[in-house]
Chain A
Amino acid sequence: MKIFELTRADDPRQAIAAAAKANTAQQGADIRFIAGGTNLVDYMKLNVETPRQLVDVNHLPFDKIEALPDGGLSIGAVVRNSDLAYHPIVRKNYAVLSEALLSGASPQLRNMATTAGNLLQRTRCMYFRDTAMPCNKREPGSGCAAITGVNRGLAILGTSEHCIASNPSDMNVALAALEATIHISGPKGERSVTIGDFHLLPGNTPNRETVLEPGDLITHVTLPPPSPGNRSLYLKLRDRASFEFALASAAVVITADGGKITRARVALGGVGTKPWRSMEAEGELTGQSATQAVFQKAAEAALRDAKPQSQNGFKVELAKRCLVHALKLVTQTA
């Protein structure tokens, strides 16, 4: 860990002004916001992140979960993952989000982790963590050790020849299925970005993971009102029963009417370089009856473009089973 300076921001403008001086966009920048610290400090200890200044955003007034007049929900950037998971509105209207959060990490970590921090958590690729190894995400142009090395846990969708790192977050998958919007306040004012546009595919700049620019502060995340009569669910598959990132996961939000699916939102986790919304699967489901054959078609569609690496070919089948089973469970209870 390198010596760094820690400053506490008491109002958003001050935080933005401080971070606007950063040499690059948020990820990997020399001036960083710190929230729960459960991801950033981890990487600082490994010298993967070496910021010289940390701006503590924990005291900014973004710690509320509020019902919106349109029936949606606003979630502050520093709301703790556990508070969000157990919030009555979330449990009632957005079960998929609550389940996704509770399937992740451990209670201790969730008590620290924040909405914005979770959105921005970086990959678990083992080479990204090891500064002695080439990694295009950490050191652009150095190569990708995972493609030729250990890649069992990494992505099969959205990869490039430069990086195959998976987005590790469970929460993000639920937010993708819920069509969340990220609200950003930056040096140039405020803007909002949909979750689908927020994370970037690796392409040939895997070091750039989101649309954030220097000084951009996430203030809150909003969810649209729940679609009437929907059921939602998060299913996560992994090697051990708890305290592990997903090998494959599925967030499904389904509205069915008399056995017919009228609206479907599907996102996959553990398999994509970003939280993987599958419009292909949604297309196969909408207007169809809730049967195993339809679910299977949706799963095939979702994984059609999968590009397995040397060790993670099994994820194609696993993700399909995950989605099929999630759809089965969510329509069973409907």
Chain B
Amino acid sequence: MPTITETATTSPIGRQTPRIDGPFKVSGTAMYASDFNFTGLLFAVPVEATIANGKLQKLDASEAEKMPGVRAIFHRANIGKIFRSVLQPPNSGIADERRPPLADDVIRYYGQYVAIAVADTFEAAKAAADAVRATYTKDKPNVNLDLQPESEPEAVETTHGRLKRLQSERGDPDKAFASAQVKVDQTYVTPAETHNPIELQGTIAMWDGQMLTIYEESQAVFNLRSVLAQMFGLPKENVRVITKFVGSGFGSKLWPWTHCALACAAARQLGKPVKLVLSRRMMFQSVGHRPRTQQRVRLGATNEGKLVSLMQDYLNDLDILGGYHENCGESTSYFYSVPNLRVHWGRTRRNIASPTPMRGPGAVPGLFATESAMNELADQLKIDPVRLRELNEPKIDEGKGIPFSSRHYLECLQRGGERFGWANRNAEVGSMKRDGSILGWGMSGAAWIAGRFPAQASVELRDDGSARVACGTQDIGTGTYTILAQLVSDKTGVPLNKIEVVLGDTSLPPGPISGGSLVTGSIVPAVFDAADNAITSLLTVATTEPGSPFGNRTPDDLAFEAGRVFAKADGLAKGVSVSDLLRRTNMRLVTGSGKSEGTLDEKKPKVSMHSYCCHFVEVTWQPATARLHVNRVVTVIDGGRIINPLAGRNQIEGAVVMGVGMALLEHTIYDPQNGAPINSNLADYLMAVNADAPLMEVHFLDYPDTDVNPLGARGIGEIGLAGVAAAITAATYHATGVRVRELPIRIEDLLTSSILA
């Protein structure tokens, strides 16, 4: 065997690495989907329904059609055929809103598209869209905030196929709860939230005969391709999706939305490229949101704090037609040791658009509920909430009955507590003060899935000493470009600035979706495999091609290290560089392809793979002005080996700030009268701004999890958000005595506090 050695001394793995795409972004040369321009490009603006429940009676486009620069107003009668798509397991054909746009005249949510105006300029298209007159028969929309489960069978269809509503069960949780010495039985509510990436969603669609090319900011180009191929009745290879840069997604760009099919259909009808970019208001209406959840959590424990029963019954609301399930129970079955447990869910249909995954889907609202209940239990028991968690640390994943691959949650708690100074806590409400403010301290833990999607990649080594890596995944702003370069540099010794990274294109080897924090974990083995194969090919070249100094050797005689090929017998010093070898053999490049399987669909997994974290939070409460501020957050992450600590820290800090927004601000309001998301702009939908950001301290434990991949890297894009809100509500209770179980915490809630400065 040839020997291929990781070039340990120069490897950028684990090194603070500035993003290789940073200069393009700050200089404005990064091309986001809607930055592309083409000759003859036309502009489209959809017409939004202004009711949330009813029927489109009449659509009068006569005035709009006559306006200057207008090419067409498309509606159900003239948009042409758009087919339905279905799920294609394991990983394609996924869509939360399955109904093809304009398929019927029934309006099921506010902002549903009823027509689309296409014109020579954006301004003309917008004016024409505004001039389309739609009349409706209106019914009262149901956007009721109190969720009651629909009567659904125990196994129901979801976006991802059939699922059982009884998610997990062991022992006899009802009986154990009934006889428990100490009990918590509370209901927690999280509101609808909208992702609000800064880059608006949009599509540029172009047809060349039967070939459809689209530019779209997608978190999953291959899935989008599979859905579009179905909707337009094309073989998959006739559809190409390109996504070079994404101005954030948070999940809203994971699955296809109806505007994309509309743009494709309009381009087809007109035989010209069409660009459609959503408005901020549309971003609240038709590209998904985190659904409202309502969760009853029951905990039973002994007087000493050992859990005896855990029950979580949760509901999420969803649209009239879809199948979205917010998996609030993802971590419930394995996070704590408890002999009796049941996790069960249901759904409630409303006149709203389909929900979709939003950063940390399921776990983020789910852990708000379960971790809040744990904090309430600790208060009831009068024991430290950290101690309560230590007392209930499981030895194995009790939900699946298998060992954990790598779990260091207790160490997270210990490190976090030390860094925060938790030992100085006085548990009494309102007892801690500083500079005229009351301090509140709270904590929470969290867990998030780890594993791999299937992935492929290719690596090229070139005669100028550079390398190219290609993978059809996406960089949604999280640093995937850089990680890909780091992986190739690690294997080949090519420096980062000589590595070209190509991604976001269905013409490349299929890569993983940018979801579930799984990209990094998924691509490691595929890229390593590709690099190894490129090097193997290089060694073959060295022994077979005229001009090589190793012509008299066999590949087994050779080794590759630090970017050089050498005869084992002669040593590295007498080797030649890749560029030298390729030049001497008159070759431009060698190429290797790599592939790795996914872990998530394993029927019988042998280990339970997750990331863990904890947050310690300090708030300050000023009763005189009813002002609550999150002051300080210490976060410890057990997220496997961290490949790029710079980008990693950035992910966690961003997530913590988002968690502050979740706890105190974020909330999509559906108007009770017409069902519109009424605060559909960035001034009325409040997110945390810099002035709301706490001082943040982030620690990574950095234990490799080699069950996930050879480097031991898991993903960390989402876990930092999970648990933050529960820690903040706990800290808020500690400061104010007000227990908030429905997010966000509002001034209205705090004004009931009787704690005075």
Contacts and interface: CB of A to CB of B under 8 A. Distances in A.
Contacts of A244: 683, 686
Contacts of A245: 683
Given A129-B681, A247-B747, 15 more contacts: A126-B678, A126-B679, A127-B678, A133-B673, A148-B673, A149-B672, A150-B669, A237-B625, A239-B664, A240-B688, A241-B689, A241-B692, A242-B689, A318-B626, A318-B751
A328 B629 CA distance: 21
B438 to A, nearest CB: 15
Interface stretch (B123-131, B171-179, B261-269): B123-131
A47 B678 CA distance: 16
Interface string A126-140: 110110110000000
A324 B627 CA distance: 14
Contact of B692 (A240, A318, A328): A240
A321 interface: yes
A235 B625 contact: yes
Nearest to A129: B681
A124 interface: yes
Interface string A105-123: 0000000000000000000
B684 interface: yes
Contacts of A328: 624
A325 B627 CA distance: 12
Contacts of A240: 664-665, 686, 688-689, 691-692
19 contacts: A124-B684, A127-B678, A130-B678, A145-B671, A149-B672, A237-B627, A239-B686, A239-B746, A242-B692, A243-B683, A243-B689, A243-B691, A244-B683, A244-B686, A247-B747, A318-B747, A324-B624, A325-B624, A328-B624
A10 interface: no
Contacts of A247: 747
Interface string A220-258: 000000000000000101011111110100000000000
Interface in A123-170: 124, 126-127, 129-130, 132-133, 145, 148-150
Contact of B50 (A124, A127, A132, A149): A132
B480 interface: no
A247 B625 CA distance: 12
A132 B48 CA distance: 11
Main secondary structure of the interface of B (DSSP, over half): loop
B748 A241 contact: no
Contacts of A132: 50, 674, 676
A126 B676 CA distance: 11
Main secondary structure of the interface of A (DSSP, over half): loop
Nearest to B623: A321
Interface of B: 50, 123, 126-127, 130, 624-627, 629, 664-665, 669, 671-674, 676, 678-679, 681, 683-684, 686, 688-692, 746-748, 751
Contacts of A318: 626, 747, 751
Q: Which 5 A-B pairs have the closest CB atoms?
A: A241-B691, A132-B50, A242-B691, A314-B748, A325-B624
A126 B684 contact: yes
Name the residue among A124, A126, A235, A328 with the largest chain B CB count within 10 angstroms: A126
A1 interface: yes
Nearest to A235: B625
B674 A314 contact: no
Contacts of A126: 678-679, 684
Nearest to A127: B678
Nearest to B690: A242
Nearest to B748: A314
Contact of B629 (A237, A241, A314): A241
Nearest to B67: A3
A317 interface: yes
A223 B686 CA distance: 35
Contacts of A237: 625-627, 747
Contacts of A133: 671, 673-674, 676
Name the residue among B625, B672, B681, B690 with the largest chain A CB count within 10 angstroms: B625
A241 B748 CA distance: 16
A247 B166 CA distance: 44
A239 B747 contact: yes
Contacts of B625: 235, 237, 321-322, 325
B626 to A, nearest CB: 6
B54 to A, nearest CB: 13
Contacts of A148: 672-673
A324 B625 CA distance: 9
A235 B126 CA distance: 41
Nearest to A328: B624
Nearest to B669: A150
Nearest to A324: B624
B738 to A, nearest CB: 13
A247 B665 CA distance: 14
Given A130-B678, A150-B678, A240-B664, A321 B624 contact: yes
Contacts of B691: 240-243
A47 B627 CA distance: 36
B126 A1 contact: yes
B130 A47 contact: yes
Contacts of B688: 240
A317 B623 CA distance: 12
A258 to B, nearest CB: 25
A2 interface: yes
Contacts of B751: 314, 317-318
Contacts of A242: 689-692
A74 B25 CA distance: 45
Contacts of A243: 683, 689, 691
Interface string A1-43: 1110000000000000000000000000000000000000000
A11 B676 CA distance: 45
Nearest to B48: A132
Interface in A243-289: 243-245, 247
